[in-house]
Amino acid sequence: MTLRSPWGGDKNAALLTDHYELTMLQAYVRQGFVREAVFSLFVRRLPKNRNFLVACGLEDVLHYLESLRFDQDALEHLAGRDEFSAEFVEWLESFRFTGDVYALPEGTPFFPQEPVLEIVAPLPEAQFVETFVMNQIHLQTVLCTKAARVVRAATGRAVVDFGLRRMHGTEAGLKGARAFYIAGVAATSNVLAGRVYGIPVTGTMGHSYIQAHEEELTAFREFTRLYPTTILPVDTYDTLEGVRNVIRLADELGDEFKVSAIRLDSGDLKELAFASRAMLDEAGLERVQIFASGGLDEYEIVPLVEADAPIIGFGVGTAMGVSADAPALDIAYKLVSYDGRGRAKLSPDKEAIPGRKQVFRVEVDGSAIRDVVGRAEEFGAGRSLLRKVMERGVRTRHGRVDLATARQTARDEISRLRERLHSLETVDPPYSVWFSEQLDTERSSVVSWLKRR
């Protein structure tokens, strides 16, 4: 089908940027400001209720950097705007990304002030990619972080992504399904996410199917004829009457009855789960499980799990899909070095730390106790987290990571965080992030140079 691409044709994707990236680009080129720059992408502070973030989105960033170019249509559009010269537009035609990228592997928990990625490239290239790189890492990190909380709250029960219909666009829905899977979500309802990423796809049945029939029992009978092991939603009219209809169907079908679960989607889920379980058990349907959905998030799931409600899994939609309690991060992409000299910004609350850096995670008995941000060339006290994922515009081995590996990384790395960081509220003190002595020295020297000028 020819559905309009969200950016009006892929060929225009290089225009998916802030206007000032292009005006700065032209200025840099005119002035010959094309020496090596280092930009650092980091989060300034944790949002509400978060004690750590989970890095995600690198795959799309690397794909963008590999394929970035201005096609004819984009060039013509820019040529038609007064602020761009013909020479500049011609120069753009051969514009490519030729730099190096260092990044945290997808699935790695990280903390404020730590680089999620650093880009080393000629200034015009490193500057221009800002908007797209920020957009992708931001979206996917917000969603992966949120999902990690939901998965943790569910403590072993399956979490299924039902978010697509209320996420911020179809791109968020698709890339979100991938971010959720990295965070440990078991499956998604998003059919295309299955096609594109190979994520397990699942689903139940909508209430409208039941409503379209005169009788709920008839709808159950018809649907299970086609999908014997389906999950049946029981709350269209009256939940417990819905459960009775499932039992009636089991009586009718005998050995042919293979329905795997019922779905509770409204009302008091805890109470209804216990009541439904009792009714199903009473009817000898111990193997029919209970699945819950309807406005769920980590805060709603915790009491259900604590009460040991007989629920096998949770369908989680909107609250996870938009990361409702913390939909954005204070993420920044800042110049930290140009032509071999550290750079910084001194705006209040908006400082950036100069130079290319490394993040060292210090662990004791397999448990992370602190991170140290140091200069890239240091030998740190802990495990180095940033890896070179792209060299001269081409992915390195570390830049080619499959989804299963990212999911495993998230599982392993998150399990090394101390229990208190898994609180659903902000803990005090936060996880410790130190700066190495060498980095502190570099920072002071850059700041005093800037102030001296």
**Of 101, 97, 109, 100, residue with least CA distance to 46:** 109
Q: Which is nearer to its own copies, 44 or 370 (CB)?
A: 44
Residue 332 burial (C-beta neighbours within 10 Å; 0-12, 13-18, 19+): middle
- Part of the chain binding its own copies (CB under 8 A), chosen from 25-33, 97-105, 372-380, 432-440: 25-33
Q: Is 192 exposed, middle or buried (0-12, 13-18, 19+ CB in 10 A)?
A: middle
CB of 297 to its own copies, least distance (A): 11
Least spacing, CB of residue 244 vs its own copies, in Å: 14
Shortest distance, position 119 Cβ to its own copies, whole Å = 12
Q: How far is the CB of 215 from its own copies (least distance, A)?
A: 6
Q: Cα(323)–Cα(329) distance, rounded to whole angstroms?
A: 11
Provide the minimum distance between the beta carbon of 294 and its own copies in the complex, in angstroms, as a whole number: 8
At 139, is the secondary structure helix, strand, or coil? helix
Of 91, 98, 158, 201, the one binding its own copies by CB under 8 A: 201
Binding mask 236-265 for its own copies (x = CB under 8 A): xxx--------------------------x
Binding to its own copies (CB under 8 A) within 42-61 occurs at 60
Per CB under 8 A, 284 contacts its own copies? no
Using the minimum distance from each CB to its own copies, give the nearer residue, 7 or 402. Answer: 7
Q: Which is nearer to its own copies, 372 or 446 (CB)?
A: 446
DSSP of 37-63, one letter per residue? EEEEEEESS--TT-S-EE---HHHHHH
**Residue 205 contacts residue 233 (beta carbons within 8 Å):** yes
Among 79, 91, 158, 209, binds its own copies (CB under 8 A): 209
Q: Which is nearer to its own copies, 191 or 381 (CB)?
A: 191
Residues 329-388 binding its own copies (CB under 8 A) are: 329-331, 333-335, 338, 343-350
Nearer to its own copies, 201 or 424 (CB): 201
Residue 363: its H or E element: strand 357-364
H/E segment holding residue 282? helix 269-282
Residue type, 432: S
* Contact code string over 295-334 relative to its own copies, x by CB under 8 A: -----------------------xx-xxxx--xxxxx-xx
* Amino acid at position 357, single letter: K
Is 13 near its own copies (CB under 8 A)? yes
Range in contact with its own copies (rule: CB under 8 A) among 172-180, 276-284, 411-419, 429-437: 172-180
Query: Across the strands, what pairs with 232?
Result: 262
Residue 110 or 360 with smaller CB distance to its own copies: 110
Residue 429 burial by Cβ neighbours in a 10 Å radius (0-12, 13-18, 19+): exposed
Contact 317, 166 (CB under 8 A): yes
Beta strands 432-435 and 367-375 are parallel
Q: How far apart are CA 192 and CA 173, in angstroms?
A: 10
Binding part of the chain for its own copies, among 65-73, 245-253, 281-289, 382-390 by CB under 8 A, reads 65-73
Long-range contacts of 304-310 (CB under 8 A, 24+ apart): 304/269, 304/270, 304/273, 305/153, 305/154, 305/155, 305/157, 307/270, 309/269, 309/270, 309/273, 309/274, 310/273, 310/274, 310/277
Confirm or reject binding of residue 22 to its own copies (CB under 8 A).
Answer: yes
Q: Least CB distance from residue 97 to its own copies, whole Å?
A: 11
Residues 130-149 that bind its own copies (CB under 8 A): 130-132, 134-136, 138-139, 142
Looking at 53, 123, 296, 406, which residue binds its own copies (CB under 8 A)?
A: 123
77 forms part of the interface with its own copies (CB under 8 A):
yes
198 makes contact with its own copies (CB under 8 A): no
Phi, psi values for residue 324, rounded to 5°? -55, -40
Residues 86, 78 contacting (CB under 8 angstroms) = no
106 binds its own copies per the rule CB under 8 A: no
- How many residues lie near its own copies (CB under 8 A)? 123
Q: Under the criterion CB under 8 A, does residue 18 sit at the interface with its own copies?
A: yes
Rounded Cα gap, residues 181 and 197, in angstroms: 10
Residue 93 touches its own copies, criterion: CB under 8 A: no
Closest to its own copies by CB, 201 vs 421, is: 201
In whole angstroms, what is the distance from residue 60 CA to residue 57 CA? Answer: 6
* Smallest distance from its own copies to CB 22, Å: 6
Write down the least CB distance from residue 452 to its own copies, Å: 11
Site string for its own copies, 150-169 (x = CB under 8 A): ------------x-xxxxxx
